[in-house]
Amino acid sequence: MDKAKSTEKNKKFPWGIILKTLSFIIITLAILIIGLYSVMWVVVKGPSPTAKQLFVRSVKETSAIGFFANIYLSNEEIAEIMGEGKQENKQEQTDTSLISIKKPETLAGENPAEGDKPAQKDLELLDIKGPSFKGKLMIIKDPQRTFLATTQSYGGAGEQLASMVERTGAIAGVNGGGFDDPGGGGQGGIPEGIVIRDGQLLSSDAVNAKGYWTAVMDKKGILHVGWMTGYQAAEKDANWAVSFGPVLVQNGKKFDGLNSGLNPRTAVGQREDGAVLLLVIEGRHVDSLGATCSDIADIMLQYGAVNAMNLDGGSSSAMIYNGEQITSIASVVGVRPIPTAILVKQVSG
């Protein structure tokens, strides 16, 4: 009797519908994959060298899908594209005489971010839009409100930006420098390049004579950008420093060699009045594919940057303000742990 009931239940179970649904899903995925492969082949092998360069640079700037370029091109072809326009101006130094920092008392009443308390009146938020991107620009009138946070397990596990902001009591922040990411796992615990926090040189790379594109905020509130070693960064009486690059703007001029792909971006800059610019561009979304390094250099110049540098981007790019993440991240697996973040202090009043 039980066996008969079991047979009857099996007959009623909609195996046919399930199999048809699975077949439909598999066929649809196959069509999408073949279509995507075909589109990428046309882009890479088609008549437009600009499209090919943009595709290769976009995917090679990521840690997870960089292999796509290798499907269509040899290592030599990729190296040639990635090397074109490479920055060679490593000798120029930041001219600090171009920065004249306003005293904090002169900032009163200047364009507060919407809904801010009076204490945050020297912080301004702007929406940024371009042909292929959108994002947020934060302007901090007092540069000495910025500081560097590092993951609690420095050199071990990374920490999410929101956690760093909350733990330090900051009002805002963006992701900072680059990090070692073997296999594209995104653990974010081992920073690359130079890290200086509260005037202390932390980076293990800093003991070497190796140079990096680095942004240094000195104790007077002046931002230096350029190619430097850890010791050279520390000699600038550094309060904080992180490395990534490339330099975007130096001494009021757009840097050469800014060829790159379309990706999420984060950048830091400074105006001649000392105000710090923190920029985050969203990317890898339908309504915001991303920006090139040339795009964000133009944005920085548009808003008065005298010096500016590209920070770690891609899935790391994010901006927090007043306890909320105000930019969309590119990662489909959630917020990425990072080793460093540039944060903005709360002020009392």
CB atoms within 10 A of CB 191: 28
Instruction: Provide the 10 A C-beta neighbour count for residue 340.
Output: 34
**What are the C-alpha distances in Å from 285 to residues 67, 290, 313?**
20, 8, 14
Q: What is the pLDDT of residue 187?
A: 72
- Which pLDDT tens digit goes with each residue over 318-327? 999 999 999 9
Average pLDDT of every residue of the chain? 81
| Identity of the highest mean pLDDT range in 68-82, 98-112, 148-162 | 148-162
Q: What percent of the chain has pLDDT over 90?
A: 52
Q: Give dist(CA 329, CA 284) in Å, integer.
A: 9
C-alpha distances (whole Å) from 327 to each of 77, 93, 185, 278, 290 are: 35, 33, 22, 13, 13
Predicted confidence (pLDDT) per residue in 276-312, tens digit: 999 999 998 889 999 999 999 999 999 999 999 999 9
Whether 268 contacts 251, CB under 8 Å: no
- Kindly state the average pLDDT of the residues 165-175: 97
Of the candidate ranges 62-71, 123-132, 241-250, 272-281, the one whose mean pLDDT is the lowest: 62-71
Mutual angle of helices 75-83 and 49-60, in 10-degree steps: 90
| pLDDT tens per residue across span 97-120 | 999 997 765 444 444 555 555 445
pLDDT at 173: 98
Highest mean pLDDT among 2-11, 135-144, 255-264, 328-337: 135-144
pLDDT of 19 reads 72
Q: Domain map of the chain by residue range? A: 2-83, 96-344
- pLDDT band of residue 41 (cuts 50, 70, 90) is very low
Cα(first)–Cα(last) distance of the chain, in Å?
A: 80
CB-CB contact of 179 with 158 (8 Å): yes
Q: Report the range of poorest mean pLDDT among 33-42, 122-131, 286-295, 323-332.
A: 33-42
Q: Does position 15 have pLDDT exceeding 60, yes or no?
A: yes
Neighbours of 16 (CB within 10 A): 8
Kindly state the DSSP code that residue 337 receives in the 8-state scheme. P
The structure tokens 């709360």 sit at 346
Q: Residue 206 pLDDT > 60, yes or no?
A: no
